[in-house]
């Protein structure tokens, strides 16, 4: 189904104070000197080519023409940002144009795969003293969650429509195979395959009372209605809800689907199935127990919940969960990626549910992101015409590459979970 995207108005004047101002102080100079030395030491042991303006090339094998290339345009500015803001500064330096790469995802994949070796152990023990803290304004309280969601998902429906496929599905697809690498023409079928797997896992069919937590742009709700389910979907994104309603109407599913602008914590009723695709990342660590208790409360006897979640290995999640990251600052305020162990433990500790099934598909997300990145890069003029400036475009390119690198390196995973009551088969 193809639906014309209503034009929305993004902010036409974007301000990036952290990018426009380069820290200038004795502290900045000292930390820049330390960062410069640590960076040169680290990359000299990695399969990268780091090219400096004076012709210097660093890397494990500087002559390896096949190694991913990181081009430093302003090494001094890069060192200041990295020294004063750590990994947030690394991302900001890309936004500022201090460095670039022909293939940012390839560079970031090497860095992600070696992240635990980039900082000396003595500095890792001092992590809590210098890493940024989470702003209280981004905690996922009921008062804050709407703003956190709007920051990302209310940018512009037309913008997202430039790089998503016709399903307007903004989560990992499930391809028939990842060898050879999937192409754009494979993406729509792969998104439906993912949706169908979730609906099958939740046993959604004719007459099912289905709750969807996180509407997106309506693809799953429409697919469920086509099975004969009665769907209630909830979202905190006004832009997504508006377009979802348009798409639901165009698909002839309006009599079976309702979409409410509502926090999941306020949902009432009883449902035969609950589904939620990559919404758990917006819940926040301190609210996971409430999220799962809410699902348990709403699930009818014999019902099943099916979730798709981006995950991190447990030891990395525990080491970084109090760290404020570039992705949280610029892309997903309030975002938190759980581990599969944390999900299972939270479900077991706080509810009468159990994890009945798990399915891992991380490599599929790497390919999904590659296709989005390829599409985004082909629509630079259209993105500019929507009012998104070059700093935003570099930010978005870094975000897609950052995510792809996480899945390529195994630093991130994506799982589908099925939850059922402990006393039910």
Q: Quick: pLDDT tens for 288-317.
A: 999 999 999 999 999 999 999 999 999 999
Q: What are phi and psi of 395, to 5 degrees?
A: -60, -45
- pLDDT of residue 1 exceeding 50, the answer is no
Task: With both helix axes pointing from N to C terminus, report the angle between 104-113 and 390-409 in degrees, rounded to the nearest 10.
Answer: 50
**Tokens 């832009």 appear where?**
239
* β-pair partners for 353: 421
3-state secondary structure of 50: strand
- pLDDT of residue 57 exceeding 90, the answer is yes
How big is the chain, counted in residues? 425
Side-chain half-sphere CA neighbours of 228 within 13 A: 5
Question: Do 168 and 251 contact (CB within 8 A), yes or no?
Answer: no
Q: What would be the CATH architecture of the domain defined by 136-421? A: 3-Layer(aba) Sandwich (3.40)
| Rounded Cα–Cα distance for residues 47 and 102 (Å) | 15
Q: Tell me, what DSSP letter sits at residue 338?
A: P
> Could you tell me which of 277, 229, 227 has the C-alpha nearest to residue 257?
229
3-state secondary structure of 402: helix
Q: What are phi and psi of 248, to 5 degrees?
A: -65, -45
- On average, the pLDDT of the chain sits at 92
Q: Quick: pLDDT tens for 126-159.
A: 555 556 788 999 999 999 999 999 999 999 999 9
What pLDDT is recorded for position 130?
57
**Tokens 């404020």 appear where?**
324
Q: The pTM is what?
A: 0.93
Where in the chain do CATH 3.40.50.150 domains reside? 136-421
């Amino acid at each position: 189904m193809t639906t014309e995207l209503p034009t929305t108005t993004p902010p036409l004047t974007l301000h990036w104070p952290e990018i426009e101002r380069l820290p200038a102080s004795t502290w900045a100079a000292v930390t820049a000197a330390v960062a410069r030395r640590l960076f040169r030491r680290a990359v000299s042991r990695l399969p990268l080519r780091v090219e400096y303006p004076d012709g210097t090339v660093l890397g494990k094998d500087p002559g390896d023409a096949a190694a991913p290339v990181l081009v430093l345009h302003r090494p001094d500015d890069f060192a200041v940002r990295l020294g004063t803001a750590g990994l947030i500064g690394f991302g900001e330096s890309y936004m500022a144009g201090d460095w670039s790469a022909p293939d940012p995802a390839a560079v970031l994949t090497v860095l992600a795969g070696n992240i635990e070796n980039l900082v000396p152990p003595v500095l890792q023990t001092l992590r809590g003293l210098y890493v940024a803290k989470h702003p209280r304004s981004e905690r996922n309280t009921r008062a804050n969650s709407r703003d956190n969601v709007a920051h990302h998902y209310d940018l512009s429906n037309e913008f997202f429509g430039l790089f998503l496929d016709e399903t307007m599905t903004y989560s990992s697809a499930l391809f028939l195979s990842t060898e050879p690498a999937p192409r754009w023409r494979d993406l729509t079928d792969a998104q439906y395959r993912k949706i169908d797997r979730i609906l099958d896992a939740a046993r959604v069919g004719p007459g099912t009372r289905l709750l969807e937590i996180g509407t997106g742009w309506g693809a799953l709700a429409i697919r469920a209605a086509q099975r004969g389910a009665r769907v209630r979907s909830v979202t905190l994104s006004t832009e997504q809800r508006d377009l979802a309603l348009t798409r639901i109407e165009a698909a002839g599913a309006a009599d079976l689907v309702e979409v409410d602008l509502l926090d999941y914590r306020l949902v009432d009723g009883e449902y035969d199935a609950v589904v939620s695709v990559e919404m758990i990342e917006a819940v926040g660590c301190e609210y996971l127990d409430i999220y799962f208790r809410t699902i348990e409360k709403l699930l009818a006897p014999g019902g099943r919940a099916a979730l798709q979640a981006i995950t991190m290995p447990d030891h990395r999640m525990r080491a970084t969960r109090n760290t404020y990251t570039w992705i949280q600052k610029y892309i997903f305020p309030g975002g938190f990626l759980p581990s599969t162990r944390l999900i299972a433990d939270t479900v077991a500790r706080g509810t009468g549910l159990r994890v009945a099934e798990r399915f891992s598909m991380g490599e599929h997300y790497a390919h999904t992101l590659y296709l989005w990145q390829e599409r985004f890069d082909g629509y630079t003029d259209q993105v500019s015409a929507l009012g998104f400036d070059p700093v935003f475009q570099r930010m978005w390119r870094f975000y897609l590459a950052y995510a792809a690198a996480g899945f390529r390196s195994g630093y991130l995973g994506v799982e589908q979970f099925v939850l059922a009551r402990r006393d039910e088969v």
